[in-house]
Structure formats: C-alpha cells, structure tokens
Amino acid sequence: MRPILLQGHERSLTQIKFNRDGDLLFSCSKDHVINVWYTHNGERLGTYDGNNGTVWTVDVDSESLFMVSGAADNTLRLWNVATGKCLYTWEFPTAVKRVAFSEDDNQVVCITEQRMGHQCAIRVFNINRSGDGTKQSKEPAHMFNPIGSKATVCAFTAQPNIIITGHESGKVSLFNVKTGEEINNNERAHSEVVTDLQLSPDKTYCITSSKDKSARIHDTKTLMVIKTFTTETPLNSAALAPNRPYVLLGGGQEAMQVTTTSLRQGKFETRFWHKVFEEEVGRVKGHFGPINTIAVHPKGTYYASGGEDGFVRVHHFDESYFKTELYGDLQIED
Amino acid sequence: EDQRESETVNTELLAHRRRLVDEWNAWRVRCKKERAEQKGQEGGHENQGEEDKEEIEVWIDEVIEQIEEEVVD
C-alpha cells in the first residue's frame, strides 16, 4: 500500500499521536497548530487554533473526548476533540515540553522547561470530566521539581501515582507524584538526552530513544534495561509495534547538517528492528528531513511518522508484514 | 568442511535465538502475571467492549497519475 502524505503543517512536526480506536491521528508542530486527521484516508478532520508558539506535545484521552497540548507560549491547553474549542488554559513561567493522560483519563501530567531562573517542574492536574470541561482547577494536584537533570519526557505507569521520566542527562526515573520522591532511577539508561518514551499497551515496559543513537526497552517497574538497539544516527523517536515483534526508530542528522539530501526522494528512514533479537530488519524511507516523531496504530495495522520536513506520512502495513516469520516459527509474547 | 562449519554456525545461531525468545517470553509472562495480580487488588475493571464492533472497509488504491519531478541544478 502506498503511504498517505498528510500535508497541512507549514513547519516541522513535534509529536503525533493516535487515539485509542486508531481512527484519528493528532499532530502538532512548530507552526503553532494542532491538526487531527482520519487515519484511513488522510483527510483532515480539523484544526485546533489558539497557540502562540511551537506546540511541543499532545495527548488524547481514551474516549477521544478531550485532548491536551503543551506549547512554547507557556500554556497547557485542554481541548474539546469534536468541536475544536479550547476549554481551559493553564499558564506557566516556561514552555510545556511534554503532556500525558493517565490511564483513567482523570489526570494529566506535564513537564515545564527549566529557563530564566525557573526550575524544570512536573505538575499533575486533575481533569474535571463532568459538564463541558471548561471548569478546571487552576492549581495542580501535585507539583515537584525533579532534582538533578531536567526531565524531557514522561508518562503515567501502571502503578497509581507513579510516573516514568526520561531526562536530559540520559537518566530514566520513576517518581511518586504525590511526594515528588524519586523512587528508582537508572542514571546510565542513555548517555545523552532522552528524546521519546512510549509505553507498551499493558504499561509493563517502555521504549526510550536518545540522541546517543540508541533506543532501549526498559521494565517500567524495575527500570532494568531489557533490550538495546544501537543505530548510527541520533534518535528522536521510538515506538513499539503491537502484536508484532518489532520496534520502529526514527531520527537523522540535525536540521543544520542536512545539505546533501537528494531533492527527488526523501532519504530519511524509519528503521525497523526486531525487538527480541536486537537486529535491524528493514527501513522505510520517504522524509526529506529527520524524523521527529513516530506512532503506531493501537492495533498495529498502520504507523505514522512526522518529520522535520513538515510532513506526516501514514503507512499501512501490507500483508507480508503480518505473515512473515523472519526468524522461523518462534512464538514471541507481546 | 565449509558447509559443515556453516551448519554449525547456523545451529548455534538458532539456539541463541531460541534462548533469547525463551528469556523474553519468561519475562513477559512474569510481567503479565504481576499486572493481573495488581489489577485484581484494585478491583479489576478491565477495558471491555472492543470485540462487539465490526468494521467493513473497502480499499481502493489506484494510481491515476504519478509525476516524478527531478530538479537539476
């Protein structure tokens, strides 16, 4: 199947996210806009306007009712998915770099940047889901400043009130959001900034990517590194393919260094690795610039990548992807 | 002799992969068990209602025209 090109952003993509059903794909960008697309045909369903700066991050709840976004204009916003209306805006002293919903949709965690005398902060907000969503509490339910290296990515784990974070130093940690206590960490998870963190469907493991050119699978309870995938370019994103034993990695040279790329065809590739054998199994090219963000459909039927080039590419896996037993008949648990 | 050697390598590689899969599966089973126990303690409300949906999609992927432009500088 030919990839679907989603054209609508004018600047590089920062994060893309499927909703739980996988029928919608949310994308945010440096052009200040968030778009939502139908995944089956690439048609744009709508746009969320209002941000006055790069939108760094989005997440959508499990019912596709509310969406949250974080941006360089120092705001965290709550949106009505269907109407495109901004329901509530929280303001901070610095940019919001990462947001994520809790599994029950009742909380949102966000990371604000360290800048101009302000420390990096992690806040958790309770989301009032009753009514039209416009009545939210201004103050966070929990807030703390992670000690040491600043956090770059975060997500709720399967355990109540525990979040997993990736840091600028390459550290991966577990924090109790109620107390702000660092419960566990792996200082040497990566040797450079952690650029992405995505959880498995049951949240028992996660994959991180880093500028240190590697991606790793960690046990979210013990933070033990289970697998390592070492590439030759700095990585911006890593995703797990549900129901198949693969991980998808994306990255590339820094935008500054991109000068020798062919004009006819994008040379930047999404790399597929076997998640158990730690071997590269394939590449899909197409982007004209580094790949900033990758997401896989919750059922594992498509994947999408967002690039520095401003495009989102949606690829439907073809039949051979599901049938091929690359390394023989071995049953691998998801 | 070469062939025999490559066969040995293959067998070793196969055994290695088999071991990796066994380790992975053992870890996954342990994780899933712990997760199920934790869910049980919380009162266990699993997400349901996924299976009663039936979707029918018809795919038509037809290339009507394809232009490839080559920029010469």
Q: Count the neighbouring beta carbons within 10 Å of the beta carbon of residue A227.
A: 19
Residue A147, C-beta contacts closer than 8 angstroms, at least 6 positions apart: A182
State yes or no: ipTM above 0.95.
Answer: no
Structure confidence at residue B65 (pLDDT):
77
pLDDT at A144: 96
Q: Does B20 touch chain A (CB under 8 A)?
A: yes
Q: Tell me, what's the pLDDT at A265?
A: 58
B27 contact A CB<8A? yes
AA letter at A47? T
Across the strands, what pairs with B23? none
What are the residue ranges of helices labelled H in chain A?
319-323
pLDDT the model gives residue A262:
47
**CB atoms A328 and B14 under 8 Å:** yes
Contacts of A328 in chain B (CB under 8 A): 14, 17
Decide if pLDDT at B47 tops 60.
no
Rounded to an integer, what distance in angstroms lies between the CA atom of residue A289 and that of residue A278? 25
Give CA–CA dist A171/A164, Å, rounded: 11
Contacts of A190 (CB under 8 A, 6+ apart): A166, A170, A171, A172, A208, A210, A212, A214, A216
CB contact under 8 A, A204 and B25: no
pLDDT for residue B43 = 61
Of A56, A65, A110, give the one whose Cα is nearest residue A83. Answer: A65
CB contact under 8 A, A219 and B61: no
Nearest residue of A to residue B49, measured between CA atoms: A21
**Cβ within 8 Å, pair B70-A263:** yes
| Distance separating alpha carbons of residues A148 and A94, to the nearest angstrom | 18
CA distance A51 to A119: 23
At A286, the amino acid letter reads: G
CA-wise closest residue to A102 among A142, A135, A137 = A142
Contact present, A293 and A15 (Cβ < 8 Å): yes
pLDDT at B50: 52
Q: B20 to chain A, minimum CA–CA distance in Å?
A: 7
d(CA A83, CA A136): 18
A10 CA to centre of own chain? 20
Distances (CA, A) of A49 to A16, A55, A286: 16, 11, 28
Q: In B, which residues are within 8 Å of A277 by CB distance?
A: 17, 20
Q: List the single residue in A with minimal CA-CA distance to B50.
A: A21
Strand partners, A122: A111, A144
Low-confidence ranges of chain A (pLDDT < 50): 255-256, 261-262
Q: Can you give the pLDDT at residue A57? A: 98
The predicted pLDDT at position A94 comes to: 96
Residue B25, classified by CB atoms within 10 Å of its CB into exposed (0-12), middle (13-18) or buried (19+), is: middle
Best interface-test mutation with A: which of B21, B52, B72 has the largest number of A CBs within 10 A?
A: B21
A2 lies within 8 A of chain B by CB = yes
pLDDT at B71 > cutoff 50: yes
Q: Which amino acid is at A108?
A: V
Q: What is the reported pLDDT for A196?
A: 98
Question: Looking at CA atoms only, how far is residue B1 from chain A in angstroms?
Answer: 25
Kindly report, residue by residue over B2-20, the tens digit of the pLDDT: 777 778 888 888 899 999 9
Element (H, E) at B19: helix B2-41
Buried b (16+ CB within 10 A) or exposed e, B34-64: ebeeeeeeeeeeeeeeeeeeeeeeeeeeeee
Q: Taking CB atoms and an 8 Å cutoff, what residues of chain A touch B47?
A: 62
Q: Chain B contact for A263, CB < 8 A? A: yes
- Cβ contacts of B34 on chain A, cutoff 8 Å: 204, 221
B31 to chain A, minimum CA–CA distance in Å? Answer: 6
What pTM, to 2 d.p., does this model score? 0.89
A2:B61 CB<8 A? yes
Q: Which residues of B touch A2 (CB under 8 A)?
A: 61, 63
Q: Which of A105, A159, A277, A288 to probe the B interface (max B CBs under 10 A)?
A: A277
pLDDT (tens digit per residue) in A148-186: 899 999 999 999 999 999 999 999 999 999 999 999 999
